[in-house]
Amino acid sequence: MKSSIIAALNLNLGYNKDPLIIKNASFQVKENDFAFITGVSGSGKSTLLRSMYGNLPIRDGHLSVCGFNLLNAPKSSIRKLRRQIGIVFQDYKLIKEWNIERNIMFPMVISGFPKNSCKIKTERLLRHIRLEHKAKKYPLELSGGEQQRVALARALAGNPKIIFADEPTGNLDDYSSDLIWSLLKGVNEQLKITIVVVTHRMPDKISMHHKHLYIENGVVHEMV
Ligand SMILES: Nc1ncnc2c1ncn2[C@@H]1O[C@H](COP(=O)(O)OP(=O)(O)O)[C@@H](O)[C@H]1O
Ligand SMILES: [Mg+2]
């Protein structure tokens, strides 16, 4: 039996004193799952994801991620959690003044890994995303699909247990989207990293075994 890496019990989420966005959600994501969160625009997908990476305080209920209890979590435990996860956004969030190599390598350097091993790892990641020939290019010299591959490499650089991705293919054409989905599938199957991905549209060819959380009117349904 796989153990759960994310567990929510009667979880309520909302902004300030506004009405709840996510109501009484209970679900689990197991180690090495590939989980999709879907729902119409504004249904609360990003809200739910943000709570999982400690970017939105929990109104009440229980949420644990990688063994960290996120209800009233102090900043120090959010920082520790962040070291165990990688995050990918719809708009890539690369640093445009830095070349690709530096975008991938710098988070490892500031985490205190020896420079030489950071360099070797960066080269390996660049090969993995098939952009070794563009190592010295800057983000705006790359296509959207290429930038998203760099963002994924950066997320992988810290050896995360989980990758959270919010609409990672939202700005991409079908060809680039397929590449991102197959990279994520490989990360899940070969590196055994748990994936939680928000998308308003499931990929057409989902060949991976997956879990599906569907949000409707604030209720999180586990689809089977
Ligand atoms: N920072 C915020 N402050 C107040 N309300 C917000 C904030 N961010 C999102 N919301 C509201 O929460 C609801 C869900 O938003 P969101 O989680 O972004 O939806 P989705 O990602 O499914 O499109 C929306 O009604 C949105 O207006
Ligand atoms: Mg969203």
Both 80 and 7 in one domain: the answer is yes
184 pLDDT tier (thresholds 50, 70, 90): very high
Atom of ligand 1 nearest to the CA of 43: 22
The CATH number given to whatever domain includes residue 188 is 3.40.50.300
Ligand 1 contacts CB of residue 46 (under 6 A): yes
Ligand 1 contacts CB of residue 217 (under 6 A): no
Q: Which of 132, 159, 186 is the last residue of a domain?
A: 159
Testing ligand 1's pocket by substitution, the residue of 11, 12, 13, 15 carrying the most ligand atoms inside 8 A of its CB is 15
Both 10 and 77 in one domain: the answer is yes
Ligand 1 contacts CB of residue 50 (under 6 A): no
Q: Tally the domains of the chain.
A: 2
Both 142 and 191 in one domain: the answer is no
Domain encompassing residue 131? 90-159
Both 142 and 195 in one domain: the answer is no
Both 23 and 57 in one domain: the answer is yes
Both 46 and 122 in one domain: the answer is no
Against a cut of 0.85, is the pTM above it? yes
207 pLDDT tier (thresholds 50, 70, 90): low
> Average pLDDT, whole number, for the chain?
95
* DSSP string for residues in 170-201: TT--HHHHHHHHHHHHHHHHHS--EEEEE-SS
- SS3 label, residue 50: helix
**Nearest ligand, measured from the Cα of 215:** 1
Supply the pLDDT for residue 202: 86
pLDDT at position 185 over 80: yes
Q: Which of 141, 159, 177 is the last residue of a domain?
A: 159
Both 71 and 98 in one domain: the answer is no
112 pLDDT tier (thresholds 50, 70, 90): confident
Report the percentage of the chain scoring pLDDT > 90: 89
Both 39 and 16 in one domain: the answer is yes
Q: How far apart are CA 108 and CA 157, in angstroms?
A: 7
Both 164 and 72 in one domain: the answer is yes
* DSSP string for residues in the chain: -PPEEEEEEEEEE-STTSPPSEEEEEEEEETT-EEEEE-STTSSHHHHHHHHTTSS--SEEEEEETTEE-TT--HHHHHHHHTTEEEE-TT----TTS-HHHHHHHHHHHTT--HHHHHHHHHHHHHHTT-GGGTTS-GGGS-HHHHHHHHHHHHHHT--SEEEEESTTTT--HHHHHHHHHHHHHHHHHS--EEEEE-SS--S---S--EEEEEETTEEEEE-
List beta partners, residue 12.
Answer: 60
Q: Which of 144, 159, 174 is the last residue of a domain?
A: 159
Both 67 and 107 in one domain: the answer is no
Both 80 and 170 in one domain: the answer is yes
Both 182 and 208 in one domain: the answer is yes
Supply the pLDDT for residue 206: 67
